[in-house]
Structure 1
Amino acid sequence: MQDSLLRHCGYRDYFLFLFGINTGLRISDILPLRVKDVRDKTQIIVTEKKTKKVRVIYINEILKVEIDKYTTSMGFDEFLFASRRGNSHITPTQAYRRLQKAAEIAGIENTATHSLRKTFGYHHYKKHGDLAVLQKFFSHASTSITKQYIGITQDEIKKNSTDFDLQNQEVQNNGKNTRAWTR
């Protein structure tokens, strides 16, 4: 996806993708950001459009490097994701279209702007295994909602189904290995 964005959509769209998967913010909270909100910062303070909650998002080292690279020739008050028309940022619809184009070229199905947030959650869980942190991050009522949201439940079902068979299974029976069978 990243390669597809870089080659076919441009650096702005690549950076949007990278920013989204590294922060977990909603597209509605990403697009209005300006250079001054992220340049030379270790964290981003955002009032979420949907929930009105103030959030502190920490910027990892990879994203810091990309922010510096991306904003190097930009003015402090410029939008990070400026529209080519006037003094505004791109719309969520424009962001969706760019991601869709890259996904189509890369052969990826079911991609939307919200996929960035879900990708962040999925990989955060795979690395840290802490659903409670993600539940709080996403403001979900339960960890089961968070698991469903990031697609872990389906992954676990698939893994447990494909890694499971009963053919020629050895079981412990009073300290002796015996073969298991069904009746």
Structure 2
Amino acid sequence: SEDFKAGRRNYTIFQLGKATLLRVSDLLTLKRADVFDERGNVRLNAYLHDQKTGKANRLYLKPVIGDLLAYQQWLQQENLISPWLFPSTQHPDQHLTEKQFYKIMRKVGDLLDLDYLGTHTMRKTGAYRV
């Protein structure tokens, strides 16, 4: 299943979401090239267009460099070759969908006995910390 064998991916989505306050739709459509340069280093700033508002967004990635590098190693170990930063493990040519991620978050919530863990939790957590 898509769920826990991809724990490293799911954790990285959460950390990146918390650090950047992006909507999950924007997180899941990030390309590897948005975040890593040709040599595999984390770009200090990534740029993307917010899907909902069309605004250009600059992402400051320094706080999550360690997470991103660990995640990149995991992708290599799993032999997940994809243009997407967060590929589906079953269909690496596609990115993880919001629906899949929502299910994963729900499952984590069930394990922790929290019924309010949804896809927006990361933004709320990040905003709360700011």
Residue 8 of structure 1 and its aligned partner are, at CA, apart by 7.4
Q: Which residue of 2 aligns with 1:102?
A: 108
Q: CA offsets per residue over residues 114-151 of structure 1, 9 Å max, x none?
A: 11111110011xxxxxxxxxxxxxxxxxxxxxxxxxxx
In structure 1, distance between residues paired with 2:59 and 2:53: 15
Match of 1:64 in 2: 65
- Number of the residue aligned with 2:91: 85
CA distance in structure 1 between the partners assigned to 2:58 and 2:104 by the alignment: 27
Contact 1:35 1:76 in 2 (8 A): no
1:11 matches 2:8: yes
Secondary structure in structure 2 of the residue aligned to 1:33 = coil
**Which whole-Å CA distance do the structure 1 matches of 2:80 and 2:111 have between them?**
32
Deviation at 1:48, TM superposition (A): 0.3
1:102–1:108 distance in 2 versus 1, CA, 3 Å: same
Rounded to whole Å, the distance in 2 between the matches of 1:75 and 1:86 is 6
State the Cα distance separating 1:77 from its structure 2 match. Answer: 5.5
Higher helix share: 1
For structure 1, list consecutive stretches of 5 or more residues without a partner in the other structure: 1-5, 125-183
Q: Match of 2:52, as an amino acid? A: K
1:32 corresponds to 2:34: no
The equivalent residue for 1:145 is none
Work out which structure has the larger RCO, using CA pairs closer than 8 Å and 6 or more positions apart in sequence: 2
Query: Residues 48-59 of structure 1 correspond to what in structure 2 (within 5 A)?
Result: 48-59=50-61
Count, aligned residues: 118
Contact 1:36/1:77 (<8 A) preserved:
no
With structure 2 as the length reference, what TM-score do the two structures score?
Answer: 0.81
State the structure with more CA Rg: 1
Determine the C-alpha separation between the residues in 1 that align with 2:80 and 2:47.
Answer: 20
Q: Specify the code of the residue in structure 2 equivalent to 1:90.
A: L
Check conservation: 1:31, 1:89, Cα contact below 8 A: yes
Q: Which runs of 4+ in 1 moved over 6 A?
A: none
Give the letter aligned to residue 21 of structure 2: G
Higher mean displacement: 71-80 or 24-33: 71-80
Secondary structure, in 3 states, of the residue corresponding to 2:47?
A: strand
One-letter code of the match for 1:111? Answer: L
> Cα distance 1:49–1:108, how it changes in 2: closer, same or farther (>3 A)?
same
CA-CA distance at 1:109 after TM superposition: 2.3
Which secondary structure does the structure 1 equivalent of 2:65 belong to?
helix
For 2:39, the equivalent position in structure 1 comes to none
Structure 2: 5+ residue runs without aligned partners?
A: 37-41
Matches of 2:66 and 2:92 in 1, distance apart?
28
How well do the aligned residues superpose, as a CA RMSD in angstroms? 2.2
